[in-house]
């Protein structure tokens, strides 16, 4: 185990699955103590026990929270502080999407997703950043996406939340540029996690095309975070997709993404 991070603590939201679980493995392997946050307490406990045992971590803390609730970030922060834990690295990873035409999707569900993807990230960042500023040290990783760069019809709200996250991260990174606190936005493409299934989008071209593996995405994010990069697009094809969409009019980028968000057998003229 690397000793340089021993005694440091990372808080990871959405650590029960997908990228979050892979982040937990990477941080644990480098000696970080863990604060793991999600709704699935048992999955977090199991992961926490395994990683603590494997890497002889001094401290693993499990926090059960539904981060789509407005009061959750303050409750998570209070619980962490009451346990006497200082968070050196904050990973705002928990997120969700919903598939469908905006005119027909459920508003309450969408408002919860907006709360989870945007407000919770902002709120947790606000709280933990105050402590990082007192120490003039810290690292923050926010989960953006390739759809931060382009509209994504049929997952319109989701893509809009991820555009927000990229803008928020890059603005904040600049504000903090003269400190020892860094902010990194990780932009993955379609990946092999529970995300599409949970969003009701498992039938789409995007979900059935080439997928990145969560361990590769997490490693890209981890390296970028550790070296203080502001933005990382994970995967060569995703970099190409973002570059190509930047060269297109937004209407063409939207049409392209709509095709990705439709079923393989959708009729095309």
Ligand X SMILES: NC(=O)c1ccc[n+]([C@@H]2O[C@H](COP(=O)([O-])OP(=O)(O)OC[C@H]3O[C@@H](n4cnc5c(N)ncnc54)[C@H](OP(=O)(O)O)[C@@H]3O)[C@@H](O)[C@H]2O)c1
Site stretch for ligand X (CB under 6 A), options 75-83, 92-100, 177-185, 223-231? 92-100
Q: Which of 31, 48, 73, 95 binds ligand X (CB under 6 A)?
A: 95
Q: Where are the beta strands (DSSP E) in 85-155?
A: 89-92, 138-143
What distance in Å separates the CA atoms of residue 104 and residue 96, rounded to the nearest whole number? Answer: 18
Q: Which residues pair with 232 in a beta bridge?
A: 186
Q: Footprint of ligand X on residues 190-209 (CB under 6 A)? A: 190-191, 193-195, 198
Contact between 71 and 45 under an 8 Å Cβ cutoff? The reply is no
Q: How many CA atoms lie within 13 A of 132 on its CB side?
A: 23
Q: Does 18 bind ligand X (CB under 6 A)?
A: yes
Of 194 and 248, the one with the shorter C-beta distance to ligand X is 194
The one catalytic residue in 77, 99, 158, 222 is: 158
Q: Which of 30, 50, 61, 66 binds ligand X (CB under 6 A)?
A: 66
Of 12 and 181, the one with the shorter C-beta distance to ligand X is 12
Q: Does 235 bind ligand X (CB under 6 A)?
A: no
Residues 6+ apart with CB under 8 A from 105: 98, 99, 157
Q: Does residue 158 have an active-site annotation? A: yes
Distance of closest approach, residue 132 Cβ to ligand X, in angstroms:
21
Of 143 and 254, the one with the shorter C-beta distance to ligand X is 143
Closest-CA residue to 147 (of 121, 173, 169, 165)? 165
């Amino acid at each position: 185990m690397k000793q340089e991070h021993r005694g440091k603590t990372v808080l990871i939201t959405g650590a029960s699955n997908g990228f979050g679980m892979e982040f937990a493995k990477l941080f644990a392997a480098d000696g970080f103590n863990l604060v793991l946050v999600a709704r699935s307490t048992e999955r977090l406990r199991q992961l926490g026990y395994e990683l603590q045992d494997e890497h002889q971590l001094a401290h693993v803390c499990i926090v059960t929270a539904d981060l789509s609730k407005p009061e959750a970030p303050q409750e998570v922060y209070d619980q962490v502080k009451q346990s006497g834990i200082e968070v050196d690295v904050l990973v705002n990873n928990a997120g969700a999407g919903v598939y469908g035409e905006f005119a027909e999707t459920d508003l309450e569900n969408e408002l919860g997703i907006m709360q989870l993807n945007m407000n919770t990230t902002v709120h947790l960042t606000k709280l933990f950043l105050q402590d990082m500023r007192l120490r003039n040290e810290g690292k923050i990783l926010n989960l953006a996406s390739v759809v931060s760069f382009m509209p994504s019809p049929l997952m319109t709200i989701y893509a809009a939340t991820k555009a927000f996250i990229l803008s928020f991260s890059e603005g904040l990174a600049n504000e903090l540029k003269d400190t020892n606190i860094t902010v990194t936005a990780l932009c993955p493409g379609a990946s092999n996690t529970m995300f599409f299934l949970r969003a009701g989008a498992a039938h789409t071209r995007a979900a059935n095309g080439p997928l990145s593996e969560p361990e590769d995405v997490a490693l890209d994010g981890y390296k970028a975070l550790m070296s203080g990069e502001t933005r990382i697009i994970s995967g060569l094809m995703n970099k190409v997709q973002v570059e190509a969409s930047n060269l297109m009019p937004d209407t063409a980028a939207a049409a392209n993404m709509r095709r990705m968000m439709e079923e393989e057998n959708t009729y095309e003229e």
